[in-house]
Structure 1
Amino acid sequence: MASTHKMLVVVGLFLLPIFAAGDTCLSPQIKAETYTTPEITVSSETIFIVQFSLACRNGLQNLNLHAEIAGKTVPVTKVENTLYQVSIADEHKNLPAGSYNVKIYDEEGYTDLRKAQRSGDRSSEGKPLVTLTLQHAGVWKGHLLQSEFVAAMTAIVVWWMAYTAKTKLQA
């Protein structure tokens, strides 16, 4: 009985690496859509949202992914089997207009990235599964003059013109 138990443990230890080894997505095909905050009046922070579908040549689905955007590492959310979404938010001044690389990492690449970040060696950073480009046009800060101000000034000017015309006619 004890020898059977020991034999099962030994066989299990040999088979564990085979079952625990994760697959890597081969030849990833990505279709992405992006959104960035367009104006400052409706949001207190700039928001980047990237939604993408991922298809692997070897048919892998339900991958655990992470992303690096603007120096921040965040987990990627699974929306469906092959549909993923990642988002970050920060103050407007910290995310100015420009082009941002969104690096998508699988588990192996993310582990390498974290090791590189801990050691401070960016050269040994893991290779991303895929890199997307996000274009941020910047946030619109609104009109120089508010429409209420322009309407009030127009009303004052019209009243002043009518009052001076009335005064000239009565004199």
Structure 2
Amino acid sequence: MKIFVLIIACVALVQGNICGRHTVTEETYTTTERRLSDDTAFIVKFKLQCSSGAQGFPLFAEVGGKIYPVTKSPEQNIYQLSWVTESSNAASGTYKLRLFDDDGMNVLRKAMRNEEDTSGLSSLFDIEFNHPGNTRDLWLTSEVVGIFVAVLIYYAVCRLRSEVMD
């Protein structure tokens, strides 16, 4: 009987999807204030509950052709993915995260290495979220304002000094 259960467990693991049926609850955050930074940060935090009871396994995400490791918090089954891109490259719209386990990531990397189409590969699950876009650039940045104020202060100090010296 023990051998039968062991064989069934091995077959289930070999077939890939170690999570089985799952529920995912996610929270997303993206920076939209381009005036404060040249980069846009994306943060996706999600809780994964597997019907098989599996937990703690490593996950990887593919976003726009780039692969990122997903970090797992020590408590419960909470994962987080974050990445940064230049604000000029962070288009507004819907972003799709495709999440993979180890085996799925190996298949994805092989397909990417061979320059094959990866859209047909099945992921563990997907998360879609909306990035509203960044605020428009100001023609006057904070660095320019800072330099202008510093020059004004320098001019005022030099003028006051010359009046005192006369």
TM-score (norm 2): 0.69
The structure having more radius of gyration, on CA atoms, is 1
C-alpha distance after superposition, 1:25-81 (max 9, x if no partner): 101210000000121122220111000000111000101000011221100000133
The Cα RMSD (Å) is: 2.5
Name structure 2 gaps, 5 residues minimum: 1-6, 146-166
Tell me how far 1:127 sits from its aligned partner.
1.2
Q: 2:36 maps to what in 1?
A: 42
Aligned: 1:30 with 2:24: yes
Structure 1 or 2: more strand by fraction: 2
Whole-Å separation in 2 of the counterparts to 1:61 and 1:54? 8
Q: 2:55 maps to what in 1?
A: 61
Number of aligned residue pairs: give it: 130
Structure 1 or 2: more helix by fraction: 1
Instruction: Report the residue type matching 1:88 in the other structure.
Output: W
Whole-Å separation in 2 of the counterparts to 1:83 and 1:140? 31
- Pick aligned residue for 1:103 from 70, 95, 98: 98
- Pick aligned residue for 2:84 from 72, 86, 89: 89
Instruction: Report the residue type matching 2:67 in the other structure.
Output: T
Out of 40-49 and 27-36, give the one that drifted further. 40-49
Instruction: Report the residue type matching 2:34 in the other structure.
Output: I
Instruction: Report the residue type matching 2:49 in the other structure.
Output: A
TM-score (norm 1): 0.67
Tell me how far 1:144 sits from its aligned partner.
7.3
Name structure 1 gaps, 5 residues minimum: 1-14, 150-171
Change (3 A) 1:60 1:48: same
SS at match of 1:115: helix
C-alpha distance after superposition, 1:86-135 (max 9, x if no partner): 01101011111111101111112111101111111115853111111120
Following superposition, which runs of at least 4 residues in structure 1 exceed 4 angstroms of deviation?
A: 142-146
Whole-Å separation in 2 of the counterparts to 1:51 and 1:44? 23
Say whether the 8 Å CA contact 2:42–2:83 is kept in structure 1: yes
Say whether the 8 Å CA contact 2:97–2:128 is kept in structure 1: yes
Say whether the 8 Å CA contact 1:64–1:106 is kept in structure 2: yes
Q: Percent identity?
A: 36
